[in-house]
Amino acid sequence: MATITNYSNLQTTIADFLNRDDLTSVIPTFIQLAEAQINRDLRHWKMEVRASGQQTAGDEWMQIPADWIETIRFNISTGGTRPLDLISRASMQDKRAGNEDMSGTPRYYAHADSQFELYPTPNETTDTELLYFAKIDTLSDSNTTNWLLEDAPDVYLYGALLHSAPYLSEDQRVGVWAQMYSASISQLNVKSEQSRMSGSGLTVKIRGMG
């Protein structure tokens, strides 16, 4: 059995586990589906990305990065660092209606129309800093590896096998692949939290799977 070191090895290993040589065209789909689930389930420190930018005066709408999954923290950094508080769209509407859509230094943000909506609307060019969890780089023939495949090929393997079962009508193996995938994800999440807290004396809080 081939060692999993790249996209091609991964596909070969999936075929070996399934004991099939007629799935060449669909195995990439199993991997794609696994990546979508991994992005929902995994929150690892290697997924963290920091993005700095400037928001134009009078513009309350800020584009969300294309690879964004979840915000860790969102700050205004003009004149000192100040965190923005996340509020609901209903609360945002109430604030705009109650204060006649005032402008000033943003203090809140909401998710709306696939963007961040800032309130108050910036009254000057405003520096922003966003720390967020980003999607894992997608594997392909031109992008043959990423940090997750290098660190935890089992997550990719069991994730892809899990998504192969419905296609192959092998319901008896769904439970096995699901258990192996879930265990691999949980271990990675635990290791990530332990790495963050190593030497700090803080208590580790384990992220549950949704």
Task: Tell me the pLDDT of the chain averaged across its residues.
Answer: 92
Three-state SS at 146: coil
Report the C-alpha dihedral over residues 44, 67, 155, 179, rounded to 10 degrees: 90
Q: 208 falls in which pLDDT band (50, 70, 90)?
A: very low
The span from the CA of 3 to the CA of 154, in Å, is 11
pLDDT at 129: 97
- Report pTM: 0.87
Domain ranges, ordered by start, for the chain: 7-42+136-193, 47-134
What proportion of the chain, given as a percentage, has pLDDT over 90? 84
Residue 126 pLDDT > 90, yes or no?
A: yes
Cα dist from 154 to 34, 100, 133, 158, 161, whole Å: 11, 54, 21, 6, 10
pLDDT at 196: 77
Residue 205 pLDDT > 90, yes or no?
A: no
Q: 201 falls in which pLDDT band (50, 70, 90)?
A: low
In three state form, how does the secondary structure of 49-101 look? EEEEEEECCCCCEEECCCCEEEEEEEEECCCCCEECEECCHHHHHHHHHHCCC
The strand pair at 108-112 and 121-122 is best described as unpaired
**Which of 75-84, 140-149, 160-169 shows the highest mean pLDDT?**
140-149
